[in-house]
């Protein structure tokens, strides 16, 4: 007989195996997928896993709905971008930018947290939305500092230049490993991969700690958590600060990888919507869900168009289908896929499979 | 000096005055039982002591200290545990996680954990199970176990036998007797046989006021009083 428990155990095993496979693919991505676009997708996946997981600390583990997550991501990105532009390429501006981003994020997180985490969830969500909107407008308006709508283009540290040779042979040529040049681009990818991995593992450890257990208890019932001795506002503020710090660091890493920071790449609400979709698809309250959600949505965003174009071509001559599968309709199909995922996995893919329960 | 002293406590919930005048003294040690009809204000009394509803200023003294204005979490840290009527467990957490939440340093004292497992063997069997999957009786055991995972001065327990099978009620009574040897229990209970078997001192609440206080033995002996206050015979 298949019980909820066996589904739970099997589902957990499947999800963890899939995540291990994704981790392996990301680890060897430069060697497995040797084109620029694929490497761009892999790096984006790494960063968004961290960003989504840090958002899940709020919405999934603590039950806090915030729309300010891209604001913190933007602080980290702009911190590094402004200093790299002002000071030139090097590690000092990256480190100082990361610190500045984290410091500003903490100031905002503490202020928003202490002032508004006592109020009802909907008011808190509105306050974060207002704060994020103000920062987005400011970033667009303060063009002397932020580059305005055009953003900032800068150089990343020399180690990450494509021309940088990590290893050279006797002739002074860059060494190739499995036909991949060991150059600065590879170093930049592994900088993204390793920092993302460290941040993700830190979050994984955090949610498994007693502090993480308290957060889950608060999510389930605030009054009960208070009744066993936990100051809910203090815990919620602390996790809001932690989440903001990690989002800010993810922003810094993204800025170093992209060598461009602007409102569209660091602060826009479309990023916030992507994060929300990734959390919902992957499953709230599980770090593994962030991995699944980020991978699926980013792959869909980058490759669904191509896939539909190929399908449309293959079905030439069949009535209606080529038009339905025209690449321009990719957002429509993405919406259909999203609705189906929510229908069949109401707690998200990882959430549904790992708990063995469909209902909330 | 009493462990807990309630003096002229009044509690409003929204625009409604639920407790009008509650006064009683809970001595240290043993089980103090709060009796009363449905809606008399027993649960509100416990919730007011715990700070979940705001009682009138100065009305709750614990070990001589006024705790009526303290935050619920601070009251809990003073050594008062609360086992609510609906058990108050965290369903998405495992049995062990539910217990560890109530420890001050995130670690079990092995001796106390062994004592809890001896009192409630089911909790040892299902340590890694999520609490939502436990039966009603097991959830109640978990709720009580959480209250005693660390030494507490006072445990407020609200109708622990509600909806439980008689065999589990008997096991619960045994557990409470053992717990009461080291901890004071303030028990709200509608199951009079259960209350009678445990209580040393008692009070009856009626319409938000204390209608009677005394020893359980005297109350059990006075059937006229039982009929007048509870419309029931113990």
* pLDDT tens-digit series, residues A104-153: 999 999 998 887 767 777 888 898 999 999 999 999 999 888 888 899 99
Q: Which of A20, A255, A34, A285 is nearest to A146 (CA)?
A: A255
pLDDT of A117 reads 66
Chain A: give the shortest CA distance to residue B150, in Å. 11
| Element containing residue A206 per DSSP (H, E) | helix A184-208
Say if residue B79 is exposed, middle or buried (CB neighbours under 10 Å; 0-12, 13-18, 19+): middle
B173 and A CB contact within 8 Å: no
Give chain B's mean pLDDT.
88
Say which DSSP state B105 is in: S
Q: Does residue A357 have a pLDDT over 70?
A: no
- What values do phi and psi take at A171, rounded to 5? -85, 0
Q: What is the reported pLDDT for B46? A: 94
Look at residue A2 in the predicted model and tell me its pLDDT: 45
What pLDDT is attached to residue A105?
96
* Residue at A358 is within a domain: no
Chain A residues within 8 A of B76 when measuring between CB atoms: 226-229
Q: Cβ of B66 under 8 Å from any chain A Cβ?
A: no
In a domain, A337, yes or no: no
Task: Identify which of A231, A253, A243 has the alpha carbon closest to the alpha carbon of residue A110.
Answer: A243
Which residues in B lie closer than 8 A to residue A216 (C-beta atoms)? 90, 92-93, 97
Q: Between B71, B72, B100, which is nearest A210 by CB?
A: B100
Candidate from B76, B84, B88 with C-beta closest to A229: B76
pLDDT reading at A273 higher than 50: yes
Counting the structural domains of chain A, the total is 1
Using a CB cutoff of 8 Å and minimum separation of 24, what contacts does B71-78 make?
B71/A226, B71/A231, B72/A223, B72/A226, B72/A227, B73/A226, B73/A229, B73/A230, B73/A231, B73/A232, B75/B49, B75/B50, B75/B51, B76/A226, B76/A227, B76/A228, B76/A229, B76/B50, B77/A229, B78/B153
Given a cut of 80, whether residue A10 has pLDDT beyond it is yes
Q: Which chain A residues are closer than 8 Å to B97 by Cβ?
A: 213, 216
| Residue at A303 is within a domain | no
Q: What share of chain B is helix, strand, coil (3-state, %, to 5)?
A: 35, 25, 35
φ/ψ of A92, rounded to 5, equals: -60, -50
Q: Which residues of B195-216 are buried (b: 16+ CB within 10 A; e: fewer)?
A: bbebbebbbbbbebebbbeeeb
β-strands B65-66, B60-62 pairing: antiparallel
Buried b (16+ CB within 10 A) or exposed e, A150-183: ebbebebbeebbeebebeeeeeeebeeeeeebbb
- Contact flag B90-A210 (C-beta cutoff 8 Å): no
Q: Which of A221, A227, A232 sits opposite B50 (nearest CB)?
A: A227
Cβ of residue B82 closer than 8 Å to a chain A Cβ: yes
CA distances from A141 to A104, A105, A130, A271 (A): 18, 20, 16, 20
Q: Do A210 and B93 touch (CB under 8 A)?
A: no
CATH of domain B1-79+154-234: 3.40.50.300
Under an 8 A CB cutoff, do B88 and A221 touch? yes
B76 touches chain A (CB under 8 A): yes
Find the CB nearest B101 among A4, A5, A213.
Answer: A213
Q: Between residues A318 and A336, which one has the greater pLDDT?
A: A336
Contact (CB<8Å) A228/B77: no
pLDDT in tens, B174-197: 888 888 888 999 999 888 888 888
Contact present, B203 and B229 (Cβ < 8 Å): no
Distance separating alpha carbons of residues B84 and B166, to the nearest angstrom? 20
| Prediction ipTM score | 0.82
Tokens for B40, please give them.
């008399």
Shortest distance, CA B192 to any CA of chain A (angstroms): 27
**pLDDT at res. A353:** 85
pLDDT (tens digit, 9 = 90+) per residue, A61-78?
A: 888 889 999 999 999 999
**B204: distance to nearest CA of chain A, Å?**
25
Residue spans of the domains in chain B: they are 1-79+154-234, 89-151
Q: Are the beta carbons of B101 and A228 separated by less than 8 Å?
A: yes
Is residue A354 in some structural domain? no
* A142/A134 Cα distance (integer angstroms): 12
In this predicted structure, what is the pLDDT of residue A338?
87
Please tell me the distance from the alpha carbon of residue A341 to that of residue B203, in angstroms, as a whole number.
56
Question: Running DSSP on this structure, what letter comes out for residue A209?
Answer: S
Whether residues A227 and B71 touch (CB distance < 8 A) is answered with no
Is B153's Cβ below 8 Å from some Cβ in A? no
Residues 6 or more apart in contact with residue B86 via CB below 8 angstroms: none
Q: How far apart are CA B213 and CA B230, in angstroms?
A: 13
pLDDT of residue A190 exceeding 90, the answer is yes
Residue of A249, A307, A5, A234 whose CA lies nearest to A104: A249
Mean pLDDT of A283-295: 92
Question: Which residues are within 8 A (CB) of A70 and not within 5 positions of it... i.e. 6 or more apart?
Answer: A132, A247, A266, A267, A268, A269, A271, A272, A275
Instruction: Please indicate whether residue A193 or residue A180 has the higher confidence score (pLDDT).
Output: A193
Contact B36, B42 (CB under 8 A): yes
Among A221, A226, A285, the residue with its CB nearest the CB of B90 is A221
Give B73→chain A minimum CA distance, Å: 4
A314 pLDDT exceeds 80? yes
Calpha distance B228→A89 (Å, rounded): 87
Give the integer Cα–Cα distance in Å for A63 and A293. Answer: 18
The answer to whether residue A1 scores a pLDDT higher than 60 is no
Range of the domain at A182: 32-285
pLDDT by residue (tens digit) across B72-115? 999 999 999 999 887 788 998 999 999 998 888 888 888 889 98
Residue B170 has pLDDT above 50, yes or no: yes
Structure tokens of A46?
A: 């790494």
Q: Which residues of A touch B93 (CB under 8 A)?
A: 213, 216-217, 220
Q: Would you call A227 and B84 a contact, using CB atoms and an 8 Å cutoff? A: yes
Q: How far is A197 from chain B (nearest CA, A)?
A: 26
Beta bridge partners of residue A260, listed in sequence order: A153
Q: Estimate the share of chain A in helix, then strand, then coil, as percent rounded to the nearest 5.
A: 75, 5, 20
Specify the higher pLDDT residue, A165 or A335.
A335
pLDDT of residue B233: 47
Percentage above 70 pLDDT, chain A:
96
DSSP B56: P
Q: What burial class does residue A268 get, using C-beta atoms within 10 Å of its C-beta: 0-12 exposed, 13-18 middle, 19+ buried?
A: middle
- Residue A6 pLDDT exceeds 60: no
Q: What does the pLDDT average to over B209-214?
A: 90
Measure the CA–CA gap between A273 and A293, rounded to whole angstroms: 13
Which residue matches tokens 């604001």?
Answer: A71
Reduced to 3 states (helix: H, G, I; strand: E, B; else coil), residue B168 is helix
Is residue A252 one of the residues assigned to a domain?
Answer: yes
- Classify B61 as helix, strand or coil: strand
pLDDT higher than 80, residue B156: yes
Name which of A6, A7, A118, A229 to mutate to probe chain B: the one with the most chain B Cβ atoms within 10 A of its Cβ: A229
Q: How far is B76 from chain A (nearest CA, A)?
A: 5
A227 contacts B101? CB cut-off 8 A: no
């Amino acid at each position: 007989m298949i019980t909820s428990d066996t589904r739970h155990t099997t589902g957990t095993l499947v999800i963890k195996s899939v995540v291990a496979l994704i981790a392996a693919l990301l680890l060897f991505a430069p060697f497995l997928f040797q084109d620029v676009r694929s490497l761009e997708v892999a790096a984006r996946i790494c960063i968004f896993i961290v960003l989504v997981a840090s958002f899940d600390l709020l919405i999934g583990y603590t039950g806090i709905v915030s729309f300010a997550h891209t604001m913190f991501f933007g602080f980290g990105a702009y911190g590094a971008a402004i200093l790299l532009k002002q000071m030139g390429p090097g590690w000092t501006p990256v480190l100082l930018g990361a610190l500045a981003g984290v410091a500003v994020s903490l100031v905002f997180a503490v202020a928003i947290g202490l002032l508004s985490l006592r109020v009802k969830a909907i008011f808190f969500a509105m306050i974060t939305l207002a704060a994020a909107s103000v920062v987005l407008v400011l970033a667009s308006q303060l063009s002397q500092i932020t580059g305005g709508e055009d953003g900032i283009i800068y150089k990343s540290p020399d180690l990450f230049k494509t021309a940088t040779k990590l290893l050279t042979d006797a002739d002074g040529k860059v060494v190739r490993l499995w036909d991949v040049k060991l150059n600065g681009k590879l170093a930049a990818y592994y900088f993204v991969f390793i920092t993302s991995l460290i941040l993700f593992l830190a979050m994984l450890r955090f949610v498994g700690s007693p502090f993480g257990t308290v957060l889950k208890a608060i999510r389930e019932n605030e009054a009960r958590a208070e009744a066993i001795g936990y100051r809910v506002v203090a815990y919620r503020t602390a996790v809001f600060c932690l989440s903001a710090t990690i989002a800010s660091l993810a922003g810094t890493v993204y800025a170093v990888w992209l060598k461009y920071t602007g409102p569209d790449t660091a602060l826009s609400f479309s990023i916030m919507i992507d994060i929300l979709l990734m959390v919902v698809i992957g499953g709230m309250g599980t770090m593994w869900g962030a991995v699944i959600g980020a991978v699926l949505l980013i792959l869909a965003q980058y490759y669904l168009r191509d896939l539909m174009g190929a399908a449309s071509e293959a079905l030439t001559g069949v009535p209606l289908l080529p038009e339905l599968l025209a690449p321009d309709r990719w957002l429509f199909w993405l919406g259909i896929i999203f609705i189906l995922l929510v229908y069949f996995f109401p707690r998200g893919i990882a959430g549904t499979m790992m708990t063995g329960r469909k209902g909330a | 000096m009493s462990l807990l002293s309630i003096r002229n406590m009044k509690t409003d919930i929204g625009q409604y005055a639920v407790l009008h005048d509650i006064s009683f003294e809970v001595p240290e040690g043993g089980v103090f039982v709060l009796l009363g009809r449905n809606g008399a204000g027993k649960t509100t009394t416990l919730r007011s002591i715990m700070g979940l509803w705001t009682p009138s200023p100065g009305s709750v003294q614990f070990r001589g200290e006024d705790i009526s204005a303290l935050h619920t979490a601070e009251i809990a840290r003073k050594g008062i545990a609360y086992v609510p009527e609906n058990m108050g467990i965290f369903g998405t957490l495992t049995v062990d996680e539910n217990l560890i939440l109530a420890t001050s340093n995130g670690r079990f004292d092995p001796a106390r954990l062994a004592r809890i497992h001896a009192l409630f063997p089911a909790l040892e069997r299902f340590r890694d199970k999520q609490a939502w999957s436990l039966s009603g009786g097991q959830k109640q055991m978990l709720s009580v176990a959480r209250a005693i995972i660390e030494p507490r001065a006072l445990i407020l327990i609200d109708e622990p036998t509600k909806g439980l099978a008689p065999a589990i009620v008997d096991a619960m009574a045994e557990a409470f007797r053992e717990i009461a040897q080291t901890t004071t229990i303030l028990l709200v209970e509608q199951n009079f046989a259960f209350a009678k078997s445990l209580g040393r001192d008692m009070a009856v609440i009626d319409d938000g006021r204390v209608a009677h206080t005394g020893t359980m033995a005297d109350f059990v002996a006075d059937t006229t009083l039982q009929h007048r206050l509870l419309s029931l015979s113990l």
